[in-house]
Amino acid sequence: MERVIRHWNRLQWWNSYPVWMWCLRTWVALAVLDSIILEDSIKHHQTLMEWQLKLLVAHPRKSSSGLHNANNNASPGGWPGARGGHPLAAFGGPGAKPSYLDRVVQEIVESERTYARDLRSIVEGYLGKIIDAEEPVLRPEQVSALFGNIEDIYELSSTLLQNLESCANDPVAVAVCFVTRSQEFAIYTQYCNNYPSSVAALTECMRSKVQARFLRECQERLRHALPLGAYLLKPVQRILKYHLLLQEIARHFEHKAGDDYELVLEAIDTMTCVAWYINDMKRKHEHAIRQQVGTGGHQGNATGVVGGSR
């Protein structure tokens, strides 16, 4: 518990979050809906992860190829991975049978590779195409609301993936990757707070024939089975899944004592606190919106929920 409190205090400097002034009553409905989506997403991904890891142990060859499409909705023939999209080499050399813990580590690395690829498809396949278009397709404020700080998220994921791939399948080294980068995950708070705005912006785009056609063309070029909205949800899902994956490492760690095990626990505490903080900021943000609606938006400056920077 002391570790949790220590990490929570470390993250308290994340004390700002963006707010929105337009369509306040619509935002309340979106915020409530988003809370339901996130709660269901957490339960779904925890159940799905446990099922996938059990499947990996029982049928390693059958499940390894189809695992990430079920988990991350990766598109067939999509973007290559950061290092060519090749799977990890067999654990322990030729003929060695990987342990359950080996498979958990492999799942963390391979799912991060798929996640980084999906983020790249958003940044280059959608945002990049919008920026490079000869005629403006979306208004600047639409682009800002729709994508938020997705480029920062992609940069962090790409760097994290490189660190994970250099861990040589060592679960302790994987845990250290999350501990050393704990404060960098603050950018997910901004993204998650902006997510209702992203949903609203996408809904607005789909009402425009020109914008909707442009986004569908981007989807077809990327050969994505799912539309942009499904990919914009991925960072929200991913940040709430890291601590669940790390818990699997601790659950199957051979020696549940010593410095190595403490590092794994520290990584779990770190990413659990990140998830807690994001949910706490969401609740505060939604409460501020409800207060604005209840008072007609006139208390905004007094409560500090108006004029927040993105």
**Digit-coded pLDDT (tens) for 132-151:** 998 999 999 999 999 999 99
What is the model's pLDDT at position 79? Answer: 34
Can you tell me the distance from the alpha carbon of 248 to that of 226, in angstroms, rounded to the nearest whole number? 29
- Give the chain as a DSSP string: -HHHHHHHHHGGG--------S-HHHHHHHHHHHHHHHHHHHHHHHHHHHHHHHHHHH-HHHHHHHHHHHHH-PPTT-PPPTTTTPPPPPTTSTTPPPPHHHHHHHHHHHHHHHHHHHHHHHIIIIIHHHHH-SS--S-HHHHHHHHTTHHHHHHHHHHHHHHHHTTTT-HHHHHHHHHHTGGGGGHHHHHHHHHHHHHHHHHHHHTSHHHHHHHHHHHHHHT-SS-HHHHHTHHHHHHTTHHHHHHHHHHT-S--SSHHHHHHHHHHHHHHHHHHHHHHHHHHHHHHHHHHHHTTTTTHHHHT-SS---
Can you tell me the distance from the alpha carbon of 182 to that of 169, in angstroms, rounded to the nearest whole number? 20
CA 252 to chain CA centroid, nearest Å: 25
What is the model's pLDDT at position 244? Answer: 93
Give me the mean pLDDT over the 151-158 stretch: 98
What is the model's pLDDT at position 96? Answer: 64
What is the model's pLDDT at position 51? Answer: 55
126-140, 250-264, 268-282, 293-307: least confident range: 293-307
* Residue 253 contacts residue 261 (beta carbons within 8 Å): yes
7 — pLDDT class (breaks 50, 70, 90) = low
What is the model's pLDDT at position 291? Answer: 74
Those residues with Cβ within 8 angstroms of residue 121's Cβ, 6 or more apart along the chain or in another chain:
75, 78, 79, 222, 224, 231
Give me the mean pLDDT over the 8-32 stretch: 44
Nearest CA among 150, 152, 195, 184 for reference residue 11: 184
Handedness of CA 226, 227, 232, 237 (dihedral sign): negative
* Residue 106 contacts residue 168 (beta carbons within 8 Å): no
Pick 307 or 294 by higher pLDDT.
294
What is the model's pLDDT at position 95? Answer: 56
Tell me: pLDDT of 267 over 90: yes
* Residue 101 contacts residue 249 (beta carbons within 8 Å): yes
Give me the mean pLDDT over the 176-181 stretch: 95
pLDDT 10s digits, 60-74: 434 333 333 333 443
Give me the mean pLDDT over the 192-209 stretch: 94
Model pTM score: 0.67
Can you tell me the distance from the alpha carbon of 270 to that of 276, in angstroms, rounded to the nearest whole number? 10
What is the model's pLDDT at position 283? Answer: 78
* Residue 192 contacts residue 234 (beta carbons within 8 Å): no
Tell me: pLDDT of 99 over 90: no
What is the model's pLDDT at position 84? Answer: 35
pLDDT 10s digits, 202-254: 999 999 999 999 999 999 999 999 999 999 999 999 999 999 999 999 998 87
Domain locations along the chain? 2-12+23-74+98-300
CATH number of 2-12+23-74+98-300: 1.20.900.10
94 — pLDDT class (breaks 50, 70, 90) = low
* Residue 188 contacts residue 278 (beta carbons within 8 Å): yes
96-105, 117-126, 200-209: least confident range: 96-105
What is the model's pLDDT at position 36? Answer: 47
